[in-house]
Chains A and B, each alone.
Chain A
Amino acid sequence: MADLLRVENLAKRFGGIVATDDLVLNIPEGELHAVIGPNGAGKTTLIAQLSGQLTPDSGRIHFAGSDITAEPMYARSALGLARSFQITSLFLDLSVLDNVALAVQARAGHSFHFWHNARREPELRDPARTALARVGLSARADLPASALSHGEHRQLELAMALASRPRMLLLDEPMAGLGPEESARMVTMLRELKKELTILLVEHDMEAVFALADRITVLVYGRVIASGKPEDIRNNAQVRDAYLGEQEAVHA
C-alpha cells in the first residue's frame, strides 16, 4: 500500500529544546492516524512542520509522492494537504458562507479575477453550501463568523477543511474546549470524514482517539516511543508508564 505521507528522520530544535527528534512517520492513504503524547511532546510542532508553518532543521517530508520539505504553506495546501488550527483561526469579520467559499476558491485556480461578483458564482457558493450542510451549519450561513459559538467555530473549521477537498487533513485538537455533547457530535462527523480522507489527528481526548484511530503514534519529548493499532498501544507497557497511566490517574 502506498503511503500518502512519509516523514523521514524529521528534527527540529528551539535553542536547547528538542521539539522533534529523528521522527519517522508513514501514513497510508485512507488511514486515520492519531498522534498522542503528554504536553510538550512536540505534537503541534510536528503539525506546523507538516503544514509548512515551520521549517525542519533536517529530515524530509514526502506527500503524495513528492518532496514537500521546502514547499511554502500555500503550495502544500494546493497539493491537497489541509490543516485545521488548534486555536480556531477563521475569517471572523466575513460571513460563515464566505469563510467556506474562500476554501473552495483556494482550490479553484488563481484568484486574479477582478470583475465578476464572486458571491454570485455557483461554482464557489454551491460546494460551500454543501459543506456547511454536512457539518450542520446551513442555518448560520449568512451570519458573520464572529457570531458563532465555540463549538460552531469547530464545525465551521471542519466545513472549510471539507470544502477545500483535501487528500489529507491535519487536525490539531479539534475537540479542545468542547462540551461532551459537542465532542460526541465532532466524533460522529470525523467518522463520516474518515471514509473519504486520510486524517492525521492530534488530540488529548483519549476516548475519541481510541474510538476513531486506525493507528496511533505516541510522542514523548519529540520522539516516537510507540506506533501501532489502538489495542497494541493500549497494552504497550512503555506507553502506559510514560503517558496513559498518568492520563488515567488524572481522569480518575
Chain B
Amino acid sequence: MSGWLSVRAIAIVALLLALVLLPVHVELGGSRFLLTLFTRIIILALAAVSLNLILGYGGMMSFGHAAYLGIGGYAVGILAHEGVFTGFIQWPVALAASALFALVIGALSLRTRGVYFIMITLAFAQMAYYVVAGLARYGGDDGLTIYKRSQFIAPIDLSNKVQFYYICLALLFGSMYLVRRIVNSRFGLAIQGARSNDTRMRAIGFPTYRYKLVCFVIAGTLCGLSGALIANHTDFVSPAMMYWTRSGDLIIMVVLGGMGSTFGPLVGAVALLVLEEVLSSITEYWQIILGPLLLLVVLFARGGIDGLLGKVRHG
C-alpha cells in the first residue's frame, strides 16, 4: 500500500477526522449552524454513496435517484402523521418502499441502455414527484411537518443534535464499508464487468440483467435510508426533496468526488454543499457561478477532485 502517504490519503484522513471532531468544536463554542450544515452534508453523502454504487461501479446512469430520498422521507413522514412514531417500523418501511420502487423502475428501465436509461429513470422519478405532490392528505405541494422524530429504545434520542449527527455519521461510514465490500465481492466484479462490457459478460455466461437489477435495488434501498434521515433532520418532508434537480445534485457529488471510489461521494458531497454555502454567501445569484463552473469541471477536470489529488501525487 504505497498510497498511504499520498496527498489523497492525507486529505481523506484529515476530512474524516474533521467530521468526527466537528461536534466537539461546536460544543467548545463553534457555530451551531456548522452542525446542522454538516448533518445535512453527511446525509446527502450517504445518498451519493448509494448512487456511486450504480453509477460509478455499475455504469448505470440513473437520473432519478432523488426519488428514494422522497420515498424514504415520506415513509417516515406519513407514518408519523398517522401516529406511528417508532423507528423500528418507520425505517424498515422506508427501506422496503424504496426497494420496491427501485425493483419496479429498475426492471423496466434496465431493459434499455444509454440515453434511454437516463431519460426513463428521470421520468419515473418525476412521476413519483407528481404523485407525492398530489397527496392532498399529506400536504400535497406544501409538504408535511413531522412533529416527532423517529422513536428508538432508551439511550437513542434523534432529537439530540449531537447524537443525531453521530448516528448519521456512523450510518454513512457503515454504508461506505458495505459498498466497499459489495464492489470487491463476486457480485461487485460481475457489476463492474457489466459496466465495462455488457455484451461480453453475457457471452461468458453472466445473466447481467439480474445482477444489475439487484444492484439497482440495493442502491435504492440505501438511498431510502438517507431519505428517512433527512426527514428526521428537517422535521419536514416535501415533494421538493425529490425534484429532479436533486437527482442532478447527487450525480454532481459522485462525479465531482471521483466515480467508483470509496470516499469520492463523501468528498463530492462536502465539496458541492460547502461550495454552495460559500457562493450563496457571496451573491444571491450563486447558481450563475455554479452552473458554468460545473460545465468547466466536465470539460476540463473529468476525474473530479479525486483525480486532481491523484495527479498531485504523481506529478
B and A form one assembly = yes
User: B160-214: which have CB < 8 Å to A?
Assistant: 181-182, 184-190, 192-193, 196-197, 199-208, 211, 214
User: Interface 1/0s, chain A 177-194, versus B by CB < 8 A?
Assistant: 000000000000000000
B182: A residues at CB distance < 8 A = 114-115
Kindly list chain A residues whose C-beta atoms are within 8 Å of the C-beta of B201.
102
Query: CB-CB < 8 A to A149: which residues of B?
Result: none
Q: How far is the CA of A94 from the CA of B207 in the complex (A)?
A: 19
Q: What's the Cα separation between A74 and B200 when bound, in Å?
A: 10
Known: A113-B185, A116-B186. A90 touches B200 (CB 8 A): yes
> Closest chain B residue to A51 by CB distance?
B203
A84: nearest residue on chain B (CB-CB)?
A: B203
Q: Across the interface, which residues of B come within 8 angstroms of A82, CB to CB?
A: 203-204
- Shortest Cβ gap from A232 to chain B (Å): 33
Residues from chain B with Cβ under 8 Å of A108 in the complex: 186
- The closest CB in chain B to the CB of A76 belongs to B205
With A72-B202, A94-B196, A119-B184 as known contacts, state yes or no: A102 contacts B207, CB within 8 Å: no
B184 touches A74 (CB 8 A): no
Given contacts A114-B187, A117-B185, contact A91 B196 (CB under 8 A): yes
A91 and B199 CA atoms in complex are apart in Å by: 10
Determine whether the beta carbon of A101 is less than 8 Å from that of B189: yes
Q: How far is the CB of A227 from chain B (nearest CB, A)?
A: 27
* Residues of A close to B204: CB separation below 8 A: 77, 82, 102-103, 106, 160, 164
Docked complex Cα distance between A220 and B91 (Å): 65
Check B214–A112 contact: CB distance below 8 A.
Answer: yes
| Nearest neighbor of B178 in chain A, beta-carbon distance | A114
Report Cα–Cα, A111/B182, bound state, in Å. Answer: 11
Say if the beta carbon of A133 comes within 8 Å of chain B.
Answer: no
- Whether B197 lies near A117 (C-beta < 8 A) is no
Shortest Cβ gap from A87 to chain B (Å)? 11
The residue in A78, A102, A106 that gathers the most chain B C-beta atoms within 10 A of its C-beta is A102
Across-interface contacts of A83 in B (CB, < 8 A): 203
User: Please, which residues of chain B bring their CB within 8 A of the CB of A111?
Assistant: 186-187, 189-190, 206, 211
Which chain B residue shows the least CB distance to A163?
B204
* CB pair B188 A118 closer than 8 Å: yes
Instruction: Give chain B residues whose Cβ lies under 8 Å from the Cβ of A119.
Output: 184, 189
A93 CB within 8 Å of chain B: yes
- Contacts A112-B214, A114-B182, A115-B181; A94 near B193 (Cβ below 8 A): yes
A98 in the interface, Cβ–Cβ < 8 Å?
Answer: yes
Bound-state CA distance A177–B183 (Å) is: 35
Cα–Cα, bound, A205→B199 (Å): 27
- In this assembly, does A235 line the interface, its C-beta being within 8 Å of a C-beta of chain B? no
Known: A90-B197, A91-B196, A94-B196. A114 touches B207 (CB 8 A): no
In the complex, the chain A residue whose C-beta lies closest to that of B211 is: A111
Closest Cβ of chain B: how far from A65's Cβ, in Å? 19
Bound together, the chains give a CA A250 to CA B146 distance in angstroms of 81
> Shortest Cβ distance from B148 into chain A, in angstroms?
35
Partner of A77 from the list B185, B190, B192, B205 (CB cut-off 8 Å) is B205
With a CB–CB cut-off of 8 A, which chain A residues contact B190?
102, 105, 111
B193 touches A114 (CB 8 A): no
Q: Which A residues are in CB contact (< 8 Å) with B205?
A: 74, 77-78, 106-107, 164
A128 vs chain B, min Cβ distance (A):
11
CB of A92 within 8 Å of the partner chain: yes
- CA–CA, A38 and B214, complex, Å: 45
Enumerate the 7 nearest inter-chain pairs by beta-carbon distance, A residue then B residue, closest first.
Answer: A77-B205, A106-B205, A91-B196, A111-B190, A113-B186, A118-B186, A111-B186
Apart from A51-B203, A102-B204, A106-B204, list 13 A-B contacts with CB within 8 A: A73-B202, A74-B205, A74-B208, A82-B204, A92-B197, A94-B192, A94-B193, A102-B201, A111-B190, A112-B211, A112-B214, A116-B186, A118-B186
Can you list 13 A-B pairs, Cβ within 8 angstroms, ordered by A?
A53-B199, A74-B202, A74-B203, A77-B203, A89-B197, A89-B200, A90-B197, A102-B193, A102-B204, A102-B206, A107-B205, A118-B188, A160-B204
Residues on A lying within 8 angstroms of B by beta carbon are: 51, 53, 72-74, 77-78, 82-83, 85, 89-94, 98, 101-103, 105-108, 111-119, 121, 124, 160, 164
